[in-house]
Amino acid sequence: MPYRSPIRHIIAAGAFALSVSGLSICSPAFAQQTVKIGSVLSVTGPASFLGEPEDKTLRMYVEKINAAGGVAGKKIELVIYDDGGDANKARTFATRLIEDDKVVAMVGGSTTGTTMAMIPVFEDAQVPFISLAGAIDVIDPVRKYVFKTPHTDKMACEKIFENLKQRNLTKIAMISGTDGFGASMRAQCVKVAPTYDVEILTEETYGPRDSDMTVQLTKIKGVAGIQAVVNPGFGQGPAIVTRNFAQLGMSATPLYQSHGVASKSFIELAGAAAEGVRLPAAALLVGDKLPDSDPQKKVVVDYKQAYEATTKQPVSTFGGHAYDGLFILVDAMKRADSTDAKKVRDEIEKTKGFVGTGGIVTMSPTDHLGLDLTAFKMLEIKDGDWTLVRPGG
Amino acid sequence: MLARLSQRYGVLIALAAIIALLPLVFPSTYYYRVASLVWVSAFAAIGLNILMGKAGQVSLGHAGFFGIGAYAAAIGPAHLGLPSLAALVVGAGFSALLAYLVGRPILRLRGHYLAIATLGFGALVALVITTESHWTGGPDGMPVAKLSLFGWRAGGSGTWYWIAGGLLLGGAWIAFNLDETPTGRAFRALHDSEIAARVTGIDVNRFKLQAFVIAAVYASLAGSALAMMNGFVNPDQAGFLHSIELVTMVVLGGLGSVVGSIVGAAVLIMLPQFLTVFQEYENLLLGFIIIVSMIFMREGIVPTARRLISRGRA
């Protein structure tokens, strides 16, 4: 090795420094007449079934809002980054949105994991963050700048237990996924069960990639006195549980799934075994079956038509969460007649009677979700389609 | 010898200069964040490079140690009332102990068998972290207390940039020094030919185990640093994909090259940030760039560049 070699490293260092500073040149400067809204979504990766419809929904509606003249006299500029479901990446993009893009608000965070990783960034920067993640941890305890639109897993448990109580089924078994969604909802269900006099006699779990749950279900079958089975989970797991459940001849026992499987693909995956399965879900899935008097009917039917016409794909509740988040934010900006982050935050907190795809939202300083149990409809699968269960039924 | 020595210090001084001067060209704190991530990942990659590049042993479960460090920083203050810094030390100690206990049997394996065994180890750590939700918060992760030293709390990307930079400098310095010790030479002998090393009287298993433990401590410290920097941990950090990311940093940058590990980490962290402008083609391009660089720079970026430069000079 020749002696003068450090120079080469210094050159390499210079190149590195240049390449880092080059990042800043890439972000174009925009005129004053736009307002930047940021979003970090899991468009690719294992949570893409959440991020993809969210991404499409945001882009579609921002275009519509801008075509109609924008908000508070300004056009919206949407900045979306894809975190691939990786919390660490999400955190970096959140910093980028705040520091580099200087967004005034954020609608995003597809999963609870990515949302929780991003929360400190928005809290520190005092920028409103409307999350699209499910778990109750996002808004409990209440954080000043963090809101969310999807129903919590706690509400799903309550809705299921409420229905169980009405049917006088109080001794249940629970089988849950060990993924984030399943584990979080399981914990909430265990917590709220006593309030509804529901007794969980036995519990089983399965891994997110397991392909057979007969063992766990056989154990449940062997426990005397089980009146219903509840399955917190999402993805393919619940579909396999449903199939195995029918294969083991347990169909006489009512099976409850969660809002995590509220998409047509669940019915397709579970096939005939899905008949009679009940689950809590947003009105969006049964928009056309809602009575005309339902205030949500117009919103959900319009969203469904717009989404399906633009993307040529069936609507999912996840895209609906992004719709709700975007319009809660835009309404707040209109009311504040400003795009100042702090004023917008205050107005978001004052959201009252907002009709979204997820329900009717009324927020308060102690409630940054603003939905109650009426936001959930109890559905039953009949003839391969969703049907509304009548209250008390 | 003198040339080697001054080269080594030259590199370290250059590295220190980069760390010190980079903030001058940073337009916003976001760049501190990206650079801090590079420093922390580079630190873990340097450790793994000691095992892979110097001692020639593969580990596909290294994120397991990274995860242990990260969760030590989270669990220590939250459940055991330990100060953050003590938790970091405990995490590193635990990683070292675990590496020792696990390494003893599995480092007797070679090639694919070793790869599978380490992969299994990493998967087990991730599984434990995901399942023991009382301690770890389960699959959604848990918050981490901010690092505080004598009443001073480290927050913000700016502060962490300097902490991570200092860590990297220390890590690089140790790795460089290791090269010139009997241990470093034993590692190289082991890498070139295990049988020859054994014949010259090197206790092959002991040195493999040493390299494994050193690499584990590096990963654990990097994990703790990242956890405290983020204020949040989740099981992905201990997962298989993260293990692969670390191995990719080492191989892409150059096996056995300390500077290579830093360059590898820089490329893998910064590239996705550049590529966001390509939207949905981002991952495609990332893969393409990595494949092309592995085809044309088989030894890794830094060794190839070094060879090209010295050839040009000759």
B227 within some domain = yes
pLDDT digits (tens, 9 = 90+) for B144-173: 888 776 666 666 667 889 999 999 999 999
pLDDT score, position B276: 81
Query: Do A185 and A176 contact (CB within 8 A), yes or no?
Result: yes
- Total number of domains constituting chain B: 1
Kindly list the structural domains of chain A, giving each domain's residue range(s) and its CATH number in brackets, ordered by start: 34-151+298-362 (3.40.50.2300), 153-281+376-388 (3.40.50.2300)
pLDDT score, position B5: 66
Please, which pLDDT band fits residue A25 given cuts at 50, 70 and 90?
Answer: very low
User: What are the two backbone dihedrals, phi and then psi, of residue A27, each rounded to the nearest 5 degrees?
Assistant: -85, 110
Cα–Cα distance for residue pair B264/B251, rounded to 1 Å = 8
The 10 Å Cβ neighbour count of residue B52 is 24
pLDDT digits (tens, 9 = 90+) for A50-84: 899 999 999 999 999 999 988 988 999 999 999 98
B61 within some domain = yes
Residue contact B236–A86, C-beta within 8 A: yes
Task: Identify which of A16, A95, A184 has the shortest CB distance to residue B157.
Answer: A95
Quick one: angle between helices B282-296 and B240-253, nearest 10? Answer: 40
Interface confidence (ipTM) of the complex: 0.82
B267 within some domain = yes
Token look-up 């300097």 returns: B162
Q: In sequence order, what DSSP letters do the residues of B164-231 get, joined into one string?
A: HHHHHHHHHHHHHHHHTSHHHHHHHHHHH-HHHHHHTT--HHHHHHHHHHHHHHHHHHHHHHHHHHHT
Q: CA of B114, closest CA in chain A: separation in Å?
A: 25
Cα–Cα distance for residue pair B44/B58, rounded to 1 Å = 15
pLDDT score, position B151: 60
Query: Do A186 and A174 contact (CB within 8 A), yes or no?
Result: yes
Higher pLDDT, B159 or A97: A97
Amino acid of residue A288: D
Amino acid of residue B296: F
Q: Which two tokens stand for residue B273?
A: 């940030």
Contact residues for A236 (Cβ-Cβ < 8 A; gap 6+): A269
Tell whether the model's pLDDT for residue B294 goes beyond 90: no
The 10 Å Cβ neighbour count of residue B203 is 12
pLDDT digits (tens, 9 = 90+) for A212-252: 999 999 999 999 999 999 999 887 899 999 999 999 999 89
pLDDT score, position A44: 85
Chain A to chain B Cβ contacts (< 8 Å)? 142
B5 within some domain = no
pLDDT score, position B29: 82
pLDDT digits (tens, 9 = 90+) for A276-295: 999 998 888 888 888 888 89
Query: Do A207 and B126 contact (CB within 8 A), yes or no?
Result: no
Quick one: angle between helices B301-313 and A6-26, nearest 10? Answer: 120
Q: Does B15 touch chain A (CB under 8 A)?
A: yes
Q: Which two tokens stand for residue A188?
A: 């909430």
CA–CA distances in Å: residue B72 to residues A150, A289, B188: 32, 52, 32
The separation between CA A230 and the C-alpha centre of its own chain, rounded to angstroms, equals: 20
B25 within some domain = no
Percent of chain B with pLDDT over 90: 53
Q: Does B226 touch chain A (CB under 8 A)?
A: yes
Question: Residue A180: its chain B contacts at CB < 8 A?
Answer: 138-140
Residues of the domain holding B52: 30-313
Task: Identify which of A6, A24, A92 has the shortest CB distance to residue B27.
Answer: A24
B2 within some domain = no
Residue contact A43–B280, C-beta within 8 A: yes
Residue contact A16–B18, C-beta within 8 A: yes
Tell whether the model's pLDDT for residue B175 goes beyond 50: yes
Question: Residue B270: its chain A contacts at CB < 8 A?
Answer: 19-20, 23
Q: CA of B312, closest CA in chain A: separation in Å?
A: 13
pLDDT score, position B52: 93
Tell whether the model's pLDDT for residue A3 goes beyond 70: no
Contact residues for B202 (Cβ-Cβ < 8 A; gap 6+): B186, B189, B190
Cα–Cα distance for residue pair B189/B201, rounded to 1 Å = 11
Residue contact B236–A113, C-beta within 8 A: yes
Question: Residue B141: its chain A contacts at CB < 8 A?
Answer: 87, 113, 116-117
Best probe of the A interface among B1, B30, B169, by most A CBs < 10 A, is: B30
Task: Identify which of B30, B143, B232 has the shortest CB distance to residue A96.
Answer: B30
Long-range contacts of B278-283 (CB under 8 A, 24+ apart): B279/A82, B280/A43, B280/A44, B280/A82, B282/A44, B282/A82, B283/A44, B283/A84
**pLDDT, mean of residues A326-354:** 93
CATH of the domain at B219: 1.10.3470
Token look-up 């030590």 returns: B72
B6 within some domain = no
Cα–Cα distance for residue pair B57/B208, rounded to 1 Å = 8
pLDDT score, position A46: 78
Mean of pLDDT over chain A: 87
Q: Which residue of B has its CA nearest to A52?
A: B280
pLDDT score, position B150: 61
Query: Do A154 and A160 contact (CB within 8 A), yes or no?
Result: no
Half-sphere exposure (Cβ direction) of A268: Cα atoms closer than 13 Å: 4
Pairing of strands A354-355, A278-281: unpaired
Please, which pLDDT band fits residue A5 given cuts at 50, 70 and 90?
Answer: very low
Residue contact A9–B10, C-beta within 8 A: yes
Residue contact B17–A135, C-beta within 8 A: no
Mean of pLDDT over chain B: 89
